[in-house]
Every structure is written in structure tokens, then in C-alpha cells.
């Protein structure tokens, strides 16, 4: 099982393909190049997991209504962001507004801590609200992999002063992440990844410190 980083430049996030044979899972889809990667490499995607509903993580889905061919997993709290340019913060950034028709996708929600098995992939969805109300991370225990979106960066965290944020939940959400095994390697929405052990000793935001702006 391997992880491929799919990055097509700012302001879009880093997306990831978790690959086993000719099957994969996707984590976030900020740019249409993410879906082109599947076609180019003849990969069968079993599911797309959205860490949250901000435009830079969902913009690659524009125009894909009725065409995706696999389910889209997002926390129920962030489903509203798919259709609302204000809540997904695409409005006001000088970029095309993102307003998806959620009815055109096979949208699936999940409970906090829910185990999801798709083909050879077994992961746990962990809700980590603060960057958005529906922010979530996805953990593969056997492989020691964690996809954190904007809930955790290397030496940083996502901001919580945007619409649909929940800053009061920051401490408990970060604590849930850091309760995972320290050797876990995480893959964030922006910047390089690291291990949770590195973050525990160097990330200034893990002690309920200031929120990154």
C-alpha cells in the first residue's frame, strides 16, 4: 500500500491517493487534476474522503455531478459547505465560486470513530471540529497512516476564524489526534507531513496555544 501526493499548486490543497494494486482511496479533491490522475493511471477509486468542506478541498468536483462513479464521504456537519460558497469560503477570494449540487453525488456521512472498510482499505473516521464544524481525520491503524486535512499541519494547525468554524472545540479535537500512536505518519492538506512524535515535541499549537491565522 502506498501514498501518492497530488498537488497542483496554491491555493488548492494537497490531495492524496492511497493505492493498493489497481484500487485506491482519495483524500480531498481540490483540483480536477486529482480525478485525471485516476484515469491516467487506470485506478479504480473506491471512495473519496473529504477532510472538510472548504473550496480548496472540493473544487476538483465541480462539474462532476452524476459522473463520479464512487461515493463521497464527508461529515454531516460539513455537507452544507458543498453547495454554499460563503461557508466553503470560495466567495471573496477572487476565484470562481464553488457551489456543487450535492444531489449529484453519492454522499455518505459517518459517525465519530466509525470504522469503514472498502476493499483492502480499513480506516477509522475521527471527527476533529474546529477548523470547520465537520472537520475530520482518517486513520489507518495497521499502516500507521493519518490524513489530517487542515486539522493538523507540520508545526501548525488550520485557522478557526472563518465561517463555519468552531474554535472552542480546538483543544479536544487536537487531543483526539495526539492520542493516536506517536509513530503514526500524517499527511496534511498543506505542507509536508511528519510523525505525531515530531509534532508532540515541536508543534506550538498542541498545548492549547494560539490559533494560526
Tell me whether residue 9 is in a domain.
yes
Tell me whether residue 208 is in a domain.
no
Long-range contacts of the stretch 178-185 (C-beta < 8 A, 24+): 178/206, 180/139, 180/146, 181/144, 183/144, 184/139, 184/144, 184/145, 184/146, 185/144, 185/145, 185/146
CATH classification of the domain holding 144: 3.60.15.10
Alpha helices for 12-93 (secondary structure H): 33-40, 55-58
Report the mean per-residue pLDDT for the chain.
94
Tell me whether residue 78 is in a domain.
yes
Tell me whether residue 153 is in a domain.
yes
Over residues 112-131, mean pLDDT: 98
Decide if 15 contacts 26 (C-beta within 8 A). Answer: yes
Tell me whether residue 160 is in a domain.
yes
Tell me whether residue 53 is in a domain.
yes
Domain of 196, in residue numbers: 2-202
Number of domains in the chain: 1
pTM of structure: 0.95
pLDDT in tens, 2-51: 999 999 998 899 999 999 999 999 999 999 999 999 999 999 999 999 99
pLDDT in tens, 153-173: 999 999 999 999 999 999 999
The confidence band for 207, taking pLDDT boundaries of 50, 70 and 90, is: low
- Cell representation of residue 74: 464527508
pLDDT in tens, 60-111: 999 999 999 999 999 999 999 999 999 999 997 777 899 999 999 999 999 9
Tell me whether residue 207 is in a domain.
no
Pairing of strands 194-195, 185-188: antiparallel
pLDDT value at residue 190: 97
- Cell representation of residue 197: 512524535
Over residues 138-161, mean pLDDT: 97
The confidence band for 208, taking pLDDT boundaries of 50, 70 and 90, is: very low
Decide if 140 contacts 123 (C-beta within 8 A). Answer: yes
- Whole-angstrom Cα distance, residue 102 to residue 206? 34
Tell me whether residue 187 is in a domain.
yes
Amino acid at each position: 500500500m502506498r501514498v501518492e501526493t497530488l498537488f497542483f499548486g496554491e491555493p488548492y490543497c494537497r490531495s492524496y491517493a492511497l493505492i493498493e494494486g489497481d484500487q485506491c482511496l482519495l483524500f480531498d479533491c481540490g483540483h480536477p487534476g486529482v480525478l485525471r490522475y485516476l484515469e491516467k493511471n487506470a485506478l479504480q477509486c473506491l471512495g473519496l474522503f473529504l477532510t472538510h468542506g472548504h473550496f480548496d478541498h472540493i473544487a476538483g468536483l465541480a462539474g462532476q455531478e452524476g459522473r463520479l462513479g464512487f461515493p463521497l464521504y464527508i461529515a454531516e456537519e460539513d455537507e452544507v459547505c458543498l453547495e454554499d460558497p460563503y461557508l466553503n469560503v470560495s466567495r471573496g477570494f477572487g476565484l470562481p465560486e464553488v457551489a456543487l449540487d450535492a444531489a449529484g453525488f453519492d454522499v455518505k456521512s459517518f459517525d465519530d470513530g466509525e470504522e469503514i472498510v472498502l476493499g483492502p482499505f480499513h480506516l477509522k473516521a475521527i471527527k476533529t471540529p474546529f477548523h470547520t464544524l465537520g472537520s475530520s481525520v482518517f486513520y489507518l491503524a495497521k499502516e500507521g497512516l493519518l490524513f489530517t486535512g487542515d486539522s493538523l499541519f507540520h508545526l501548525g494547525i488550520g485557522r478557526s476564524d472563518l465561517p463555519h468554524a468552531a474554535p472552542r472545540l480546538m483543544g479536544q479535537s487536537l487531543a483526539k489526534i495526539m492520542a493516536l500512536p506517536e509513530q503514526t505518519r500524517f499527511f496534511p492538506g498543506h505542507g509536508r507531513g511528519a510523525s505525531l512524535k515530531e509534532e508532540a515535541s515541536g508543534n506550538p499549537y498542541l498545548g492549547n496555544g494560539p490559533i494560526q491565522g
